[in-house]
Structure 1
Amino acid sequence: MSIWQAVTATAPARWIAAHPLLTLGLLSLPLYGLVLVHGDFRPRRMEPFFPIFFGLFGLYALACVIVMARRTSSLPLIFLFAVIFNLILIPSRPTLSDDMYRYVWDGRVQAAGVNPYRYPSDAEELTDLRDNEIWRLMNRLDAVTIYPPGAQIVFAATWRIFPDSVAGMKLVMIAATLLAGWLLVHLLKALGQPPERALIFLWPPLLMFEVAHAAHVDALYLPLIVGAFLLRARAPQDRVDWRYEAGIGALLGAAVLIKLYPAILAPCLWSLRDAAGRRRWRLALPVATALTVLAGYALYIQPGVDALGFLPTYGREFFNVSPLMRWLTDWAIANDIRWWLPGNLGMPLLMVLVSG
């Protein structure tokens, strides 16, 4: 018997082979725990983050291979570890991003009866709301908020439940991702796919750090998008049912109210072929989307208030962009085109072409 055969024949090796996802989940726990031990990652302390992240990503990749290669009955285990991974990171200070402090601030401003789009956070009118725990840790103190009305509604509601709580904001974002995972299970079943493949969404370390560590607002629209695709999967393909179309449109509109770029998914959700292969454009979907977005903005439109907030200025900034966006920007500059137009207009057009 070779050494390898001897090792794989041992009881621990047989147990690992019989419980691969449990093993990978348990191995991930101490790596997430190292985040709490290390503390702040910024500034000038990013180096330890990379071995932690890539170690977790390696374990996650193995888990993906397992759920893609075979059916398992591990759905409760998948959700259990997703919850544990998130809970471990809740006490971590969000040093990889400071956006969360703006969320809490916007909730505080609304609780004081002030429209979050009216004043920049350093305005004299908001002096009484400032502190060292939230306000001083925000970025862009001289700017009004950038986040759309749907996000503002969540910020305000969360502040009412968890006043000035970073951990409370994290809990809301985590709940949104878990809800998205639950909906994804049903979407996979509707598409005839193994529901355990929801692990691919629920276990990535990027999701954990973006949501449970940084509490990025993107988590809020995930269940809305998955819900929209679930309705599309269940909608009749041989006829137009306006109830499904309106429901999909309302969910898409709500996602756009959280952050604007889910709008690029409209062609994917809207233009479908029926059972005969004909293209069917369902008017109820875009109408419901538009009405939902308009209703959200109507809540914050007041005299002297620009409900777009900081967004127009942000759309013209040039930093922290992807290679594709940088290439588009360089191309625009070389051809005497306003450098911010290709990215803002070209990416939605690309999505339309891909979905067509």
Structure 2
Amino acid sequence: MRLILISGLLVLSAALTAFSVSTLHLFAPERDEIPLVLGTSALWLLFGLAWWLLRRVNGRAVVALILAGSALIGGAAMVGPPNTSTDSARYAWDGIVQNNGISPYAFTPADARLDSLRPDWLFPAPQTTAAGTEVCIGERIARARTTDGDLLCSALNRTAVPTIYPPASEIFFAGVRFLTGPGPAYWPLQLAGLLLSLGTTVMLLVGMRRRGLDERNAALWAWCPLVATEAVTNSHVDMLGVIFVVAAVFLVSTRKVWRGGIMLGIAIGTKLIPVLAAPALLKRGGWRMVAASVLSFALLYVPYVLATGIGVLGYLPGYLSEEGYQDGSRFALVSLVAPGSSAIIVAGVILAVVAVLVILTTDQNRPWVGQLVMIGATLLVLSPRYPWYALLLLPFVALSGRWEWLLVPMALTLRLLVPNPELTRVSIAIAVIVIVAVSLRRAGPGVLKRMRHPFVFTQSSSA
């Protein structure tokens, strides 16, 4: 009966995922976020209930259910175009220009010299109204201007700036478009995201079995609504970084430091954020892991630096300013006690302390708890408005079994769907309170004493 119930919940989750993807989005001029919030909440509820039931299932059925659910929900996430982000349109364009021998860091999408490369699904032709005015038609289509001053209808965001993505991402974009050409719209990247998410599910299951971890917790990754929506529907390249980070963790924790360092360098070369996984690995990885990571990261940049020079920085500096990280306005909770630019200093101090504690106290045979804390704390402090950054957190939720950290992606998802500063602060504060309370309960008696003397307890546990 329990297997039937779980199977039914997974089918229902897949059906609701398909319905949400095909009918609910954030692109209408007068959008109503309530249906999307309700649909997303229902998906998280179904996910939680299915995982709770799975905890009472044993045997081979566990692996079969996890894999089947991952494939079913992920496949359902492909039934419609991206519904909360336009980033994958930029991914497609970057791949198209690279396959025509052009560096994505060298030209903006609005550059008139690239007119001949524009596919209609990314750059539909302007329509002329009865009054003779040119307009752009389509909910995902924005108005822009080419460098010649002509109207440019585009599915891309930020058409006036070069790309922001590091080289591993750009190689991935080029590879996908090399296989499909410029014609197909969103499904090639969605399929790539599905395959990467399934690959991560398999990697987690294998790694957890070899290390004696509870395989049932792999469902915390495989069935999570964030994976379906952000890795598949919206095809965020963060998914590529996730699979390389998971590989790095398993390699370094089994003393395959050089190979793990290479995997970590590639992950960082995807979107920089995976560097947060490094502190928990430093005691075992040491200089060899750092050297391998830096070398692989640098080698990825070589062809782009040769083609573009300093332009490989792309729009990264402008992006950080745009997102409010230079003046401190983006930090939801920190800005309450440290307004303005002082929030940057306070946030930096908090994260530095967390990093030191992670380095000192992490069990090198099981580093995922330290990585969970480092990544999760960073997301809570920086409070980005993009929930797909939390994809990096989810494998470590699964490996550690610490479900309470799922409140982080839930809070960030709410921030995206309902961009209200006060609601954001409340949701992130609730996440902090619950995580701290549950973590203290997990730690058991004497936790505060152990926290005051990390050196002593680290040495005794190692002995």
State which of 292, 312, 319 in structure 2 corresponds to 1:314. Answer: 319
Structure 2 partner of 1:293: 297
Structure 1 CA distance for aligned equivalents of residues 8 and 329 of structure 2: 37
26-35 or 147-156, which deviates more = 26-35
Change (3 A) 1:32 1:251: same
Distance 2:49 2:178 in 1: 41
Which residue of 2 is the match for residue 194 of structure 1?
A: 214
Q: Out of 58-67 and 99-108, give the one that drifted further.
A: 58-67
* 1:1-356 equivalent positions in 2, closer than 5 A: 16-38=1-23, 40-43=25-28, 44-74=31-61, 75-135=63-123, 136-164=154-182, 165=184, 166-235=186-255, 244-272=256-284, 282-302=286-306, 304-318=309-323, 325-328=331-334, 333-334=339-340, 337=342, 347=351, 350-356=354-360
Contact 2:279 2:358 in 1 (8 A): no
CA contact (8 A) 2:22 2:79 kept: no
* Deviation at residue 347 of structure 1 after TM alignment: 3.9
CA drift of 1:103 comes to 0.2
31-40 vs 102-111, which deviates more? Answer: 31-40
Report if the CA contact (8 A) 1:39-1:92 is conserved. Answer: no
* Cα shift at 1:130: 2.8
Shift of 1:326: 3.3
Q: Greater CA deviation, 128-137 or 96-105? A: 128-137
Task: Describe the superposition over 1:65-86 as per-residue Cα deviations: whole angstroms up to 9, x where unpaired.
Answer: 1333453432122212211211
TM-score by length of 1: 0.82
Whether the 8 Å contact between 2:97 and 2:117 is mirrored in structure 1 is: yes
How far off is 1:232 after superposition?
Answer: 2.9
Q: CA deviation at 1:204?
A: 0.8
Letter in 2 for 1:120: T
Equivalent-residue separation in structure 2 for 1:62 and 1:133 (angstroms): 39
Is the partner of 1:256 in helix, strand or coil? helix
* Paired residue total: 323
Structure 1 residues 264 and 342, CA gap change in structure 2 (3 angstroms): farther
- In the alignment, residue 50 of structure 2 is paired with which amino acid? A
Separation in 2, partners of 1:331, 1:315: 21
Question: Equivalents in 2 of 1:341, 1:106: separation in Å?
Answer: 35
Is the contact made by 2:329 and 2:335 (CA closer than 8 Å) also made in structure 1?
A: no
SS in 2 for 1:186: helix
Shift of 1:39: 5.1
CA drift of 1:22 comes to: 1.3
Q: Which ranges of structure 1 fall in alignment gaps of 5 or more residues?
A: 1-15, 236-243, 273-280
Q: Within 2, Cα distance between the matches of 1:349 and 1:262? A: 18
**Aligned equivalents of 2:350, 2:301: Cα separation in 1:** 25
Deviations 1:94-137 (A, max 9, x none): 13000000000000110111111011111222222234422411
The aligned amino acid for 1:25 is: L
Q: 1:115 to 1:151 in 2, by over 3 A?
A: same
Contact in 2 for aligned 1:225/1:251 (Cα 8 Å): yes
Residue by residue, what CA displacement relative to the aligned partner does 1:184-242 show, whole Å, maximum 9, x if unpaired?
1122123311223211100011110112210011111111111111113323xxxxxxx
Alpha-carbon distance in structure 1 between the residues aligned to 2:173 and 2:352 = 28
Query: Could you tell which deviates more after superposition, 306-315 or 141-150?
Result: 306-315
Deviation at 1:182? 0.9
For 2:163 and 2:352, how far apart are their aligned partners in 1? 24
Partners of 1:111 and 1:160 within 8 A in 2:
yes
Query: Structure 1 residues 320, 73: closer, same or farther in 2, change over 3 A?
Result: farther
Relative to structure 1, is the Cα distance of residues 349 and 118 closer, same or farther in structure 2, using a 3 angstrom cutoff? farther
SS at match of 1:94: coil
Counting aligned pairs with the same residue, the percent is: 24
Partners of 2:265 and 2:296 within 8 A in 1: yes
- Segments of structure 2 that go 5 or more residues without pairing to the other structure are 124-153, 361-463
Structure 2: which amino acid aligns with 1:353? Answer: L
Normalising by structure 2, we get a TM-score of: 0.64
